[in-house]
């Protein structure tokens, strides 16, 4: 490993510059174009990444603009060690103090959308493969880096990839936390539709949220009212513990609340501006569907008001975040992101929600089951050893609410790239990754490759 360590140390500055280059491509999902199913910027990100892989002597292939892969070594694809990362990013959102796609370096950090989720870790994996190659480490199995372009919007990229080529059976995705995540909760998008009441506060319009997996940090709504309603709204905000801005507008009032954006898998880490607005509506006397949502969801994070709060010893608590809402023409349409424990039944969960809100139309536009890999597998144990060798950290497995590419493999786990104690910046304003984290990730990934794909003595 000494030669690999020397190489990675020499690559440090180059790794940073590669991350900056990738982050400066605003690869938010866009309008489909020929050869670019997720927009031209996502395709540009894929082409750029594959060109860098080729520069390091890896064998690359792009699959219709959905995804691409880069191979190190030879052997069966099914038996290859896969490393899966994504190049697409969520929309910028509110609250940034730095250029979202500027890739600015400051205080040992690289700032920009995608630095931590997931371009920084993808670059660390690429340089780990480069170091193993240039160190001349003999491999007993192929190592395949797979880079997709639609992880943030449902992973249709890997669905296409699996149709046109073979997916390895085993591997990891550096798109979560250390040490090793061998359990990913089930996910469900629950849709709430209902009619506004003609009594009480009249909400004329509200259009908040862009993605169901992003906690909105800002919300605005137009309501009927005058200066008295504006005063009541601001007083309600003081009572509830968060500021409300109320502005008179042509015989109506614009209400604005500011929360804290974040990843829907960790609703406790954010502050949902939609939930704040619903509580303001309730204080102002709203009735009908919006009152039901305020009472049943509001600012809760674990489904308590819906009667679905649950935890199990394997995967922990259910989490829920109401991340999109549209109010217009007397109708409300909202979408909630729910991450549920391994032992929960999603159909029973939806039935319970319908019982709790019988006057609303409840549907399930999308869901995926939990994912579990035994901690005793060679994959998990090898990854834990690699992590421990570099950090000295505890060799243990954990469960998360986030869904990663790991679920696309029979034996896939999430491995890094966030270290214990580091701040979670995925989907947040002023997203960053530290330069030291990039380097340490590359060291860990290189050791994992050697442990899991390198030739053993006597082979």
pLDDT tens digits, residue range 181-232? 999 999 999 999 999 999 999 999 999 998 898 999 999 999 999 999 999 9
Which pair of tokens denotes residue 56? 């390091």
Helix, coil or strand: residue 109: strand
Indicate where the chain has its CATH 3.30.70.360 domain(s). Answer: 186-368
Phi, psi of 316, deg, nearest 5: 85, -150
**Active site (catalytic) residues:** 88, 151
CATH architecture of the domain with residue range 186-368: 2-Layer Sandwich (3.30)
Residues belonging to the chain? 459
CATH architecture of the domain with residue range 2-183+372-453: 3-Layer(aba) Sandwich (3.40)
Percent of the chain with pLDDT over 90: 91
Closest CA to 433 of 211, 214, 147, 122: 122
pLDDT value of residue 123: 98
CA-based radius of gyration for the chain: 23
Burial 283-305 (b: 16+ CB within 10 A, else e): bbebbbbbbbbbebbbbbbbbeb
For 112, residues 6+ apart whose C-beta sits below 8 A from its C-beta are 20, 23, 24, 98, 99, 100, 101, 102, 103, 104, 431, 432
Which pair of tokens denotes residue 298? 């509001």
Strands 214-215 and 218-224: unpaired
Strands 432-434 and 109-111: antiparallel
Closest CA to 96 of 271, 217, 206: 217
pLDDT value of residue 314: 83
What is the DSSP secondary-structure string of 56-94? TT-EEEEETTTEEEEEES-S-STTSEEEEEE--B----S
Distance, CA of 40 to CA of 37 (rounded, Å) = 8
* Peptide bond between residue 454 and the one before it cis (omega within 30 degrees of 0): no
Indicate where the chain has its CATH 3.40.630.10 domain(s). Answer: 2-183+372-453
Which pair of tokens denotes residue 63? 């699959």
Strand partners, 183: 372, 399
Q: Is the pTM of this model over 0.75?
A: yes
pLDDT value of residue 459: 43
Give me the half-sphere count of Cα atoms (radius 13 Å) on the Cβ side of residue 2.
0
Helix, coil or strand: residue 214: strand
Residue in the structure block whose two tokens are 């007083």: 235
pLDDT value of residue 35: 97
| Residues of the chain predicted below pLDDT 70 | 457-459
Distance, CA of 438 to CA of 142 (rounded, Å) = 24
Number of H helices, E strands in the chain: 10, 26
């Amino acid at each position: 490993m000494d030669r690999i360590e020397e190489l990675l140390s020499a690559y440090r500055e180059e790794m940073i510059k590669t991350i900056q280059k990738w982050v400066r491509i605003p690869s938010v999902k866009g309008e489909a174009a020929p050869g670019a199913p997720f927009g031209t910027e996502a395709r540009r990100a894929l082409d750029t990444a594959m060109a860098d892989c080729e520069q390091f002597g890896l064998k690359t292939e792009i699959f219709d603009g959905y995804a691409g892969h880069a191979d190190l070594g030879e052997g069966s694809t099914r038996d290859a060690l896969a490393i899966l990362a994504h190049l697409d990013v969520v929309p910028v959102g509110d609250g940034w103090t730095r250029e979202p796609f500027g890739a600015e370096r400051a205080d040992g950090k690289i700032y920009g959308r995608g630095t931590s989720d997931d371009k920084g870790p993808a670059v660390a994996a690429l340089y780990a493969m480069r170091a193993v190659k240039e160190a001349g480490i003999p491999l007993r199995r192929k190592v395949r880096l797979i880079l997709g372009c639609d992880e943030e919007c449902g992973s249709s990229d890997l669905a296409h990839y699996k149709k046109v080529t073979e997916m390895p059976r085993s591997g990891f995705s550096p798109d979560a936390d250390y040490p090793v995540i061998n359990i990913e909760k089930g996910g469900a998008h629950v849709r709430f539709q209902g009619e506004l009441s003609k009594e009480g506060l009249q909400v004329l319009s509200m259009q908040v949220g862009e993605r169901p997996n992003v906690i909105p940090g800002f919300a605005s709504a137009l309501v009927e009212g005058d200066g008295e309603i504006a005063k009541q709204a601001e007083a309600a905000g003081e009572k509830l513990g968060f500021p409300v801005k109320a502005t008179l507008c042509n015989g109506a009032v614009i209400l604005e609340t500011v929360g804290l954006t974040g990843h829907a898998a960790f609703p406790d880490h954010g502050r949902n501006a939609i939930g704040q607005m619903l509580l303001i509506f309730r204080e102002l006397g709203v009735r009908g569907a919006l009152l039901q949502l305020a009472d049943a969801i509001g600012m809760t994070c674990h489904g308590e008001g819906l009667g679905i709060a649950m935890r199990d010893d394997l995967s922990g608590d259910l989490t829920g975040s109401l991340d999109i809402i549209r109010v217009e023409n007397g109708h409300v349409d909202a979408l909630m992101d729910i991450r549920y424990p391994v032992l929960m039944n999603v159909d029973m969960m939806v039935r319970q929600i319908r019982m709790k809100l019988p006057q609303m139309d409840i549907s399930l536009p999308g869901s995926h089951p939990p994912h579990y890999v035994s901690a005793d597998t060679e994959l998990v144990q090898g990854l834990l050893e690699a992590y421990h060798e570099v950090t000295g950290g505890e060799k243990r497995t954990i469960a998360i609410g986030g869904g990663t590419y790991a679920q696309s493999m029979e034996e896939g786990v999430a491995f890094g790239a966030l270290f214990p104690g580091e701040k979670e910046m995925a989907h947040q304003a002023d997203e960053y990754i530290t330069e030291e984290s990039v380097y340490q990730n590359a060291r860990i990934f290189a050791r994992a490759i050697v442990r899991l794909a390198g030739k053993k003595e006597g082979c």
